[in-house]
Structure 1
Amino acid sequence: MSQAQDQQLERLTFFSDAVFAIAITLLVIEIHVPHPEDLSDRAWLLALLQLTPHFVGFILSFIVIGALWAAHHRVFGLLRHYDPSIVWPNLFLLMVVAFMPFSSALMSSHPTERVPEWFYTGTLLLAGLLQHRLVKRVLRAPYLREDVTDEVVATLRRRTMALPLMALLSGVLAIWWPGPSNLPLMLMPLMVMLFVRMTKSRAAGPIAETE
């Protein structure tokens, strides 16, 4: 990679990392400190208990954004050349990531309502599809490192299907069980492992070097 290409790729990566970091930090802003009128221990415990949906939403969205960042970090670590055509697909993914604190706050504030749940899972579905599109665009010759095998590419592409499938499942379950419908999203790491095992060879060498 030339010095100019190296700088372009680094700038794109650093900018992406900054957006992920800001989005994942903004999640906690929507968890407001309670101020119970009665300052007894019971009142404080009840006030904190009422924040449970916000705590769950924070953990869930933190995991999702963290998983998106980890995949982004892993994939961009396999590049040896800068490709100008990935800028806009990358920006569209970052746009949805930056929007996630709002959809997470909406869902957490109305944990038993279908529309806020659908809005949240729709955001995750869009993020997953944009991630899949970006990964397909990034992982192609001649921009990949020479040691990246076809098995590695297939594995990484399949991993990106976990989030859209789990988001779609959660959205469908929200028709009958809004709130508990988010539970499948907690199983996303297991779904990622399943997609990885579907690949004949995990080609752990190049992947491990970028993690």
Structure 2
Amino acid sequence: MSQGQEPQLERLTFFSDAVFAIAITLLVIEIHVPHPDGHDDAAWLHALAELLPHFFGFVLSFVVVGAMWAAHHRVFGLLHRYDPALIWRNLALLMAVAFMPFSSALMSTHPAERIPEMFYALNLLVGGLLQYRLFRGALRAPYLRGDVTGAEVATIRRRSLALPMMSLLSFVLAIWIPGPSNLPLMLMPLVVLALARGIRRTGATPAT
């Protein structure tokens, strides 16, 4: 048992890790092995080129789900126990994560169409908001470990706004320019860094 955590908290963490692992694995299921008409190099290269939107969707969704898991892992590592009300908040987040393989496949299959792009961005927006809500409820006394500082809490809360912000921007852009609308999601790591630096500059240390 890590850092003196309660057994129930570890069970919650292990279950969450399993859902993240399954969702991130299922992302590749929709990339089917091609069967080109010919068997020469040109036919194979053409068949693989047609799969490029699926490869892009897989990498993008893998990074997003991976970042969500990393944040979840970081937050729950700061706790020594939890509010039972967080169970349903956590399940709501996991529902959005488990839905990601479908929305990712829909977006990858129709990479330049408005509704699939908006649907994908909406899935990420809902997941991001649910994650932010979960972290707001988890990162507070008396559930935090004694060595966790207010600056750590402020940084994590601020960083968790990156996904809702970028997915909302992606959703709006998809109305006019589907396809390139995913660009904000690719820039999300830079936004995370910018939000974290904003905390350090202001020296914010909210109550936990």
1:28–1:58 CA contact under 8 A, matched in 2: yes
- Equivalent residue for 1:47? 47
* 1:83 to partner: Cα distance: 2.2
Gaps of 5+ in 2: 204-208
Report the identity percentage: 70
- Equivalent residue for 2:156? 156
Q: Which ranges of 4 or more aligned residues in structure 1 deviate by more than 6 Å?
A: none
Gaps of 5+ in 1: 204-211
Number of equivalenced pairs: 201
* 1:202 to partner: Cα distance: 10
Deviations 1:45-97 (A, max 9, x none): 00000000000000000000000000000000000123211100000000000
In structure 1, how many angstroms separate the alpha carbons of the residues matched to 2:81 and 2:103? 35
* TM-score, normalised relative to structure 1: 0.92
- Equivalent residue for 1:183? 183
Higher mean C-alpha displacement, 142-151 vs 126-135: 142-151
Corresponding position: 1:74 with 2:74: yes
What is the root-mean-square deviation in Å for CA atoms of aligned residues?
A: 1.7
Assess, with a 3 A threshold, how the Cα gap between structure 1 residues 21 and 153 changes in structure 2: closer, same or farther. Answer: same
In structure 2, how many angstroms separate the alpha carbons of the residues matched to 1:12 and 1:120? 27
Corresponding position: 1:192 with 2:195: no
Q: Which amino acid aligns with 2:175?
A: I
In structure 2, how many angstroms separate the alpha carbons of the residues matched to 1:145 and 1:48? 50
Assess, with a 3 A threshold, how the Cα gap between structure 1 residues 5 and 146 changes in structure 2: closer, same or farther. Answer: closer
Corresponding position: 1:30 with 2:33: no
2:121–2:170 CA contact under 8 A, matched in 1: yes
* TM-score, normalised relative to structure 2: 0.93
In structure 2, how many angstroms separate the alpha carbons of the residues matched to 1:87 and 1:27? 25
In structure 2, how many angstroms separate the alpha carbons of the residues matched to 1:123 and 1:62? 14
Q: Which amino acid aligns with 1:132?
A: Y
